[in-house]
Structures are given as structure tokens and as C-alpha cells.
Amino acid sequence: MKRICLTIAYDGTEYAGWQRQNGALAVQEVVENAIAKLTGTEAELLGASRTDAGVHALGNVAVFDTEATIPAERYAPALNTYLPDDIRIVSSKEVPAEFQPRFDAHHKLYEYHILTGEVCSPLRFRYVHFMKEKLDVEAMNRAAALLTGTHDYTSFCAAAAQVKTKVRTVRDITVTRTGEEIVISVDGDGFLYNMVRILAGTLVQVGLGRMKPEDMPGILEGMDRALAGPTLPAKGLQLVRIWFSE
């Protein structure tokens, strides 16, 4: 038995997120079906990140166990022949049997993409949140610096989330502008339900002048979802990379 690790990229537009679920098509199900077609046996993928409906990924990671004799590095090109164009296996390799991507993930990088201007390009609308308003990136960065560290992020978590603790460590948040595109990069050890999209929504409120950077500590300390900004649409969010413990 071998444990195969896949790095997976996908356009999340047509999917109900990563995790398999009843009544809706998820990325996990599509990839598991491709594995079954390739190997002739069913396999269960264990993923590192349960991205939500409509969220994209450049580097999600998942593993499965198999007795097939296919060389580990050949799974990527072989599986791609069974997958739709909006899901691709970027790479594949064998890993130790005890490797668990969800629990061995050390930190993750997400990006939230915003396009500003008068018109949203039809080539970009699936992957950005479009706004006509101008944003103050300098103020957004000042606010972002106050949101990093180890905190209880209750104010930045969807109310429906059911977790033991809402304490997380955010290593870094940066806001960069290239032309009309603004990218909010968030690097952390783990994230609550909708956390990155709420962080981005709060920073946008700062960029619009509706909140001030110095409001951020009070929002964290208040531990109240109503204090933070709106949850921005899923389509602007991308899981970029996951780092694992040695």
C-alpha cells in the first residue's frame, strides 16, 4: 500500500467547495472519481483545506492510499486525462503512510483579489471582486498590521462555525496594488469559516474610509461578528500554497 500526495489546482466556480457532500458536486468527488477510473478501485482523499463553494485553489493538497503499481509521479498526468479542464493535478508524489495533510499543515497562504475601475474585464470576473470605488491601500496595510498575531478571531468568523476554539495565528497580512488590481495576502496557521473573506471585507471598509486602522484592536477584542466588515464574495479568494511540518 502506498500513500500518494496530490497538489491540486481548481477553478471553484462550478463546485460546492472541496469537500464531498450530498446533493452538490464538490472537487473531492470529481478527483476521487478520476482515481477510481485510473486505478480500478475506489479511494478516499484526505485534504488539507476544505475550501468553500466558489473558492479557487492553486495548491490544495490531498492524499489517498492505493495498491496500484503506477509510479507516484505519473499520477498527475494520468489523472488529468480523466479530469475536467477546471481541475488539474499539479504534481504527485509518494509520502509516508502517517502523513496527514490536514493536521500536518504548518501554515497556509490565501490571496483575495479585488479589481477596481470603471469596467470589470470579462476575462477576470470569475476570479476577482469588482469595485468601482478607489481604495486607500496604505490605510489598509496599517489596519492589516494590527490584525496579525495570535488572537481570538471570533469577530472574523461566520456565526454558524462550530469549532472548539477561535484562536488562530495570522503570520502576515499584506495589501498590494498592481495597476487596477489589489491583492490581500493572508498567511496563517489555520483559518475559521469565512475568516479570510471577512478580514478582506474589513480591510476594504478601511480602504473606503468607513473604518479606521485604529479600530482593528477593538474589533478583535470585542469578539463580535457584527463589529467587523462584510464577507466578500467567494470568487475573489484563492488558496495559493500550503506549507507542512517536516
pLDDT in tens, 173-220: 999 999 999 999 999 999 999 999 999 999 999 999 999 999 999 999
Same domain, residue pair 119 and 228: yes
Record the cell numbers describing residue 86, joined without a space: 477546471
Query: How sure is the predictor about 153, in pLDDT bands with cuts at 50, 70 and 90?
Result: very high
For residues 167 and 152, give the distance between their C-alpha atoms in angstroms, rounded to a whole number. 4
How many domains does the structure of the chain reveal? 2
Range of the domain at 40: 2-99
18 and 47, same domain (yes or no): yes
pLDDT digits (tens, 9 = 90+) for 99-141: 999 888 899 999 999 999 999 999 999 999 999 999 999 999 9
Same domain, 133 and 217: yes
Same-domain status, 112 and 30: no
Rounded to an integer, what is the distance from CA 103 to the centroid of its chain?
16
What residues are paired with 6 via a beta bridge? 62, 92
Q: Which of 11, 52, 136, 152 is catalytic?
A: 52
Q: Are residues 113 and 93 in the same domain?
A: no
Most distant CA atoms of the chain, gap in Å: 59
Q: Is 52 a catalytic residue?
A: yes
* 5-47 confidence digits (pLDDT tens): 999 999 999 999 999 999 999 999 999 999 999 999 999 999 9
Q: What angle do CA 207, 197, 232 make, to 5 degrees?
A: 70
68-73: long-range pairs with CB below 8 Å, 24+ = 68/2, 68/38, 68/39, 68/40, 68/41, 70/38, 70/39, 72/2, 72/4
Assigned C-alpha cell, 33: 472519481
